[in-house]
Amino acid sequence: MGFIRRMQLIKDYLRLFPKVRQELRRWVKAAQAIPSPLREQALASINNKAFHCLGGAVYAVYPGAMTEVVLGAIVALQTISDYLDNLCDRLDVTDEAAFRRLHKSFLQALELTEPSQDYYQDYPYGESTYLLGLVRACQENLSQLPYYRSYQRAALYLATHYCELQVRKHVGRDREKYLQEWIGRAFPKSIKWQEWAAAAGSTLGIFFCFALASQAPAVREQAILDAYFPWTQGLHILLDYLIDQGEDKLHGDLNFTFYYSTRAELCLALQQFAQESRIRARALPHSYFHHTVIDGLVALYGSDPKAKAQGQRDIFHQLSKGSSARYLLPACLGLRRMGVIS
């Protein structure tokens, strides 16, 4: 029965891809109307990171979710995330005040209050339609979810950590010290500092809150956090950094997987995150959904050509053992060959 439900979930999810791309085309059109160099960064963030929206869209097919509304909120918020990441990373700006003000947009998208229009006040470039439009689109979709208020606090808790990470990791040469100072103060020492940082960098828990808000509350806030923060979110971002090791080493970029002293230590950490994620998912309703997401992360990143090029396939095969990821991994490889995912 569990296998059948997982297969149906995957089918429903793949059918959603054209709608995700349709939503993104809407934002491409909006981005084309803003001035340079923001236009180029907005378009690049969509063209190069569309897979973030495609991946997050799985929460729009969570059992009972209002699919179209949840999808609209996910695409809008993830597009804000990817755009701001480019603005903090690509235009030779390292100003903390500018980054904090830019990320007000991410938080206000979740707060449902009237958006401010001063997101670019401390940034050297500005526009008045694109970022504000994304914030309002997210708000409009969230306002249609009947129980969003029940999950808003958890979403904002995760979003606050996300924004803090984004600001601190882009401030320049002192970024590592700045990150460690925050994490040492904000989180217990139960896991390594780079693992908390990785967990803060994922939006999956926020998207889960969107999905849950479609129906009467059935999940406690603490249960969401116990499963997703740091475990599922940490696994997500550590895998993302794992396959980016080559290019990050080349460009001298921050990469949380570089802080493990050996490859074996990194592999053990990834196994711990995968195992804890699967165990804690059992405490959530529709646990098969979360197991599919977890195993899908392993399969999606493991099937990326960068994993093969960097000799990392053995790590992903190890992470796949005893789970449906061992079937999803070759399936994702096939979908990549067909161009369904890229």
Q: Which of 133, 17, 5, 139 is nearest to 67 (CA)?
A: 17
Cα separation, 205 vs 188, in Å, equals 19
User: Is residue 1 pLDDT above 70, yes or no?
Assistant: no
State the greatest distance between any 2 C-alpha atoms of the chain, in Å, as a whole number.
Answer: 56
Q: What is the pLDDT of residues 100-155, one digit of tens each?
A: 999 999 999 999 888 887 999 999 999 999 999 999 999 999 999 999 999 999 99
Q: Considering Cα of 53, then 58, then 61, then 65, what sign does the dihedral take?
A: negative
pLDDT in tens, 160-185: 999 999 999 998 778 999 999 999 99
The secondary structure of residue 230, as a DSSP letter, is I
pLDDT of residue 30: 98
Q: Give tens-digit pLDDT for 36-62.
A: 999 999 999 999 999 999 999 999 999
Provide the percentage of residues in the chain whose pLDDT is more than 70.
99
The angle at the Cα of 304, spanning 282 to 176, to the nearest 5 degrees, equals 75
Sign, CA torsion 227/9/210/81: positive
3-state class of 65 per DSSP?
A: coil
Q: What is the pTM of this model?
A: 0.96
Residue 6 neighbours by CB under 8 Å, 6+ apart: 288, 291, 292, 324
| Per-residue model confidence as pLDDT tens digits over 245-298 | 999 898 888 999 999 999 999 999 999 999 999 999 999 999 999 999 999 999
Comparison of pLDDT for 342 and 291, the residue scoring more: 291
Cα–Cα distance between 6 and 8 in angstroms, integer? 5
* 156 neighbors 107 (Cβ within 8 angstroms): yes
Of these ranges, 87-96, 167-176, 211-220, the one predicted with the greatest mean pLDDT is 211-220
All structural domains of the chain, each given as residue ranges with its CATH number in brackets, are 2-338 (1.10.600)
C-alpha to C-alpha distance for 298 and 321, rounded to whole angstroms:
11
98, 166 contact by CB (below 8 A): no
Residue where the block lists tokens 């099937």: 303
Distance CA 300, CA 340 (A): 12
C-beta contacts of 281-288 below 8 A and 24+ residues apart = 281/227, 281/232, 283/223, 283/226, 283/227, 284/219, 284/223, 284/224, 284/227, 285/218, 285/219, 286/62, 286/63, 288/2, 288/5, 288/6, 288/9
